[in-house]
Structure 1
Amino acid sequence: MKKSFTQTLLVIVGTAVILLAGCTEKTSPVETMYTTLEGVVSAEEDFNEQQEPLQQLEKQEHELFEQIISLSMNEFDQIVNLSKEALSIVEKRKEKIEIERESMIESEEKFKEVQDIIETIEDEELKAKATELSKTMNSRYQAHKDLYDAYMNGLQLDQQLYTILQDENLTLDQLETKINEINDAYKIVMEANNEFNKITEKYNESKQSFYEAAGMEVTVTAEN
């Protein structure tokens, strides 16, 4: 049986309220860092907005697949219709994951500004925390690229499945082979998903630690 994959991704923490201790009229590196990091949060708004609809599409597709495999070849016309409907949902999933990817690329471009800011931080402990934050975030971007690649491979296999299901000469062996390929592919997706979530959580913690070391009092809201 084709396994269902529901994508649950953690997102970076957005800071709701910030008080900077001992700030001056001149913008400090820490204030600039804060502004940049919050710009990164804004850049990922489209990423965040794709999560719930993407999960709903995955659920709908899985329900269609369950309907398809419950039918006999005497109901082939219905199998074809449901397969076409499933293909349409796969395409919608692809559109959502592309929007998600574009949002992450925008976030990564914004985050590149951080490195120049880090170089202007004079306090060595604070600079070390900022450097660690930067390394973690760059690892997060790579983790999302790995997740995106794995997910796109899964989508391609899903498309192949619903295409061959419209072939009246499809054999059980061919169907089982394709389903096994899909299940293997989504195991990789799940592993990549878990890695992305783990690094995102680490980044959120690193960001909080940086703000505290900088003397900031923050109220944050974590989303997932």
Structure 2
Amino acid sequence: MTGYKLTGLACLVAVTAACSGENAAEQIFEEWEAAVQIEQDIAEVQDPLAEREEQENELYEEMLTLNETEEIEPLSEEAISSAEERRELMEEERSIIDEAYEQFQEGSDHIGNLEEEEQEAANEVTELMDERYGAYTELYDTYMQSVDEDMELFSIIANEEIEMEELQQQHETVNGLYSEIAERNESFNNATEQFNDAKMNFYEISELQVEAGEAS
């Protein structure tokens, strides 16, 4: 199992602005927090992903205890079907991430209207968002590759002519990808935390009073 779990963007709501001259910062706030709201939908993908990973792991462990191809085949088909569902869930998650990223970019149009210190802080936030998006892209690509290799593993274990050495090699390939996913997942989560901190710093510099909001 990959242990795949994304850290979400911090959800914030504005309380008051310090003065009437904060229009650009307020507009940026609205665009950025709209992106956060879009990403809340990822929670609906994470649990089904984890459930299918666990199911596939249990099916694989059971297949290893069986000797007859007739017994292994239905479990293999079930595991492959589950992996295909994970692929669809990941595509759905990627769509959410892309939509949120595009929404976030809407705030960039207002950065030029900020004071110099605010601009520097806002630019740092956008740079960190770009890094976060890049980290997710690498994570997504690796995860999708692992789905392909999982399906290959579930397929060959049902092949009665497969050599144990080949099965072991495929098992090691899968485990290697799981380790890579864990590393990329950690990089993404770290990037998210850095982004959340930088975003809060920008709000403070812009004298926007915000507080934690509830996920929708």
Change (3 A) 1:197 1:159: same
Which of 20, 25, 29 is the matching residue for 1:30? 25
Q: Distance in 2 between matches of 1:171 and 1:211?
A: 60
The CA deviation at 1:221 is 4.7
Per the alignment, residue 92 of structure 2 pairs with: 99
Residue 4 (structure 2) aligns with? 7
Q: Does the 8 Å contact 1:13/1:222 carry over to 2?
A: no
1:135 aligns with 2:132: no
CA contact (8 A) 2:14 2:208 kept: no
Q: Which residue of 2 aligns with 1:159?
A: 151
What CA distance in whole angstroms lies between the structure 2 residues aligned with 1:5 and 1:66?
15
| 1:115 Cα deviation after fit | 2.1
Please report how far the alpha carbon of residue 45 of structure 1 lies from its aligned counterpart in structure 2 after TM superposition. 2.9
- Structure 1: distance between partners of 2:120 and 2:14: 24
Which of 64, 71, 83 aligns to 2:76? It is 83
Task: Give how far 1:210 is off.
Answer: 1.0
Mapped partners of 1:45, 1:201: distance in 2 = 16
1:168 to 136, 160, 182: 160
* Cα distance, 1:51 vs structure 2: 1.3
**CA 1:221–1:66: 2 relative to 1, 3 Å:** farther
Which residue number corresponds to residue 60 of structure 1?
55
Report the CA distance between 1:147 and its aligned residue: 0.4
TM-score of the superposed pair, with normalisation by structure 1: 0.91
Task: Give the AA of the match of 2:164.
Answer: L
**Deviation for aligned residue 1:222:** 8.4
The count of residues paired between Structure 1 and Structure 2 equals 215
Percent identity for Structure 1 against Structure 2: 32
Which residue of 2 is the match for residue 50 of structure 1? 45
Unaligned runs of 5+ in 1: none
Work out the CA distance in 2 between the residues paired with 1:213 and 1:78: 64
Contact 1:68 1:82 survives alignment (8 Å): yes
Q: Is the 8 Å Cα contact of residues 46 and 99 (structure 1) preserved in structure 2?
A: no
Runs of at least 4 residues of structure 1 off by over 6 A? none
CA distance in 2, matches of 1:8, 1:68: 27
Q: Post-superposition shift, 1:101?
A: 0.4
TM-score (normalised: structure 2): 0.94
Determine which of 118, 122, 127 is the counterpart of 1:126.
118
Q: More helix by proportion, 1 or 2?
A: 2
Distance (Å, rounded) in 2 between the aligned partners of 1:17 and 1:66: 50
The answer on 1:190 being equivalent to 2:182 is yes
Contact 1:6 1:59 in 2 (8 A): no
After TM superposition, give the deviation of residue 141 of structure 1 in Å.
0.6
Cα distance, 1:32 vs structure 2: 0.4
